[in-house]
A and B are shown apart, each in its own frame.
Chain A
Amino acid sequence: MSHDPERESAEFEARTRALFEQSVENLDGRTRSRLNRARHAALDELRTSPAHAWRRAWIPLSGATAVVALAVWMALSPGSQQGQPHESGIPIDDLELFAESPSLDLLEDVEFYAWMADEMDDVQNGNSG
């Protein structure tokens, strides 16, 4: 049998595509139902009053505020010199991770940052665990 890399490659692509299609068809009822609800929520968005837009605008803003507050807290806390571990054991250089995330979506996780600030308070007060 002759070796035809292009044909073999095309066959491989066709098989993986068919497998993907089957896995899509076999999605369970719960997932289908949640996707259905998500679609309706998106379509409702088309009919949403512009008055609601300002509320959405506050979400990233409050997230940004939480991150800035956390950064200020970290900077003003004792032992927060550049390159040295923070009093709570957190290297300041790790904060660069936050700066590497250009999307505001990361800042929408307000609940997470609030929880993180609480945890850090606990750590500083010696209530870890």
Chain B
Amino acid sequence: MRRSDTLPTIAMRLDDEPASKEHSLEQSRELERFLTNVEKRAFRIARITVRNDDDALDIVQDAMLQLARSYAGRPADEWGPLFYRILQNRIRDFQRRRKVRAKVLSWLPGRSSHEDEGDDPFEAVPDRGLLPFEALSIEEAMRGLERALVRLPDRQREAFMLRNFEGLSVAETASAMGCTEGSVKTHYSRAVHTLRAELDAVAPGAPDEAKVRTS
């Protein structure tokens, strides 16, 4: 190749460098907006399943890191299903790891598998910007809902949280859960049916709001 052929290419690359930097900055800003938008909800979703603030925070942090490492270059509209897929995988891995730990601890003489589980001191922290009574009632209501959600089979819980809490479409939920759209519809419908039945059983005849709050 002649030298004169390579010069324009090099010049073009030098011209492209600021554009590339700008693109990278824009990508970083866009990812920050996305993460800011999903992080608190993702934490709540993880917290419902793993029932521990620190573990839920670790899971969300891992999911954010994984998204940034592996998928930041993908179109922004793909980040939602990708992020929730990573999050759900992290939650499942955590549950599996917890089972292994419990099993191993049960092998060891004189040790209880619940040894390192304790009350979560942050559960009692009042909600931001609300009177203590209001805060308590919302927390209580949410805890009632969480208890009902935890009793659901994993796939039904995932479908309910992704569809109803996160507002993902059936197709996006299917992508996040790694299953068909038909399965999502089935899981979701069963979840709604079971949750309603369970909350009805707690306070039959009461208005729905009260059922959620008193369960």
A contacts, CB < 8 Å to B: 8-9, 11-13, 15-17, 19-20, 22-32, 34-35, 38-39, 41-43, 45-47, 88-90, 94, 97-98, 100-101, 103, 105-106, 109, 112, 116, 119, 123, 128-129
Q: Give chain B's interface secondary structure class.
A: helix
B96 touches A101 (CB 8 A): yes
B55 within 8 A of A: no
In the complex, the chain A residue whose C-beta lies closest to that of B200 is A12
Among A28, A89, A98: residue with most chain B CB under 10 A = A28
Given contacts A13-B192, A106-B97, A119-B108, A24 and B65 within 8 Å (CB-CB): no
How far, in whole Å, are A94 and B208 apart by their CA atoms in the complex?
45
In the complex, the chain B residue whose C-beta lies closest to that of A38 is B61
Taken residue by residue from 45 to 80, chain B's Cβ proximity to chain A (1 for < 8 Å, 0 otherwise) reads as 000000001000100111011011100100000000
Q: Give chain A's interface secondary structure class.
A: helix
Q: Write out the residue numbers on chain A whose beta carbons fall within 8 Å of the beta carbon of B195.
A: 12, 16
Binds A, one of B4-12, B122-130, B171-179: B122-130
Q: Write out the residue numbers on chain B whose beta carbons fall within 8 Å of the beta carbon of A94.
A: 103, 107
Enumerate 28 A-B pairs (CB-CB under 8 Å) in ascending A order. Answer: A8-B196, A12-B195, A15-B208, A15-B209, A15-B212, A16-B212, A17-B164, A22-B142, A23-B139, A24-B41, A26-B128, A27-B43, A27-B128, A28-B122, A31-B122, A32-B40, A35-B57, A39-B36, A41-B61, A42-B31, A43-B28, A45-B69, A94-B107, A101-B97, A103-B96, A106-B93, A123-B109, A128-B110
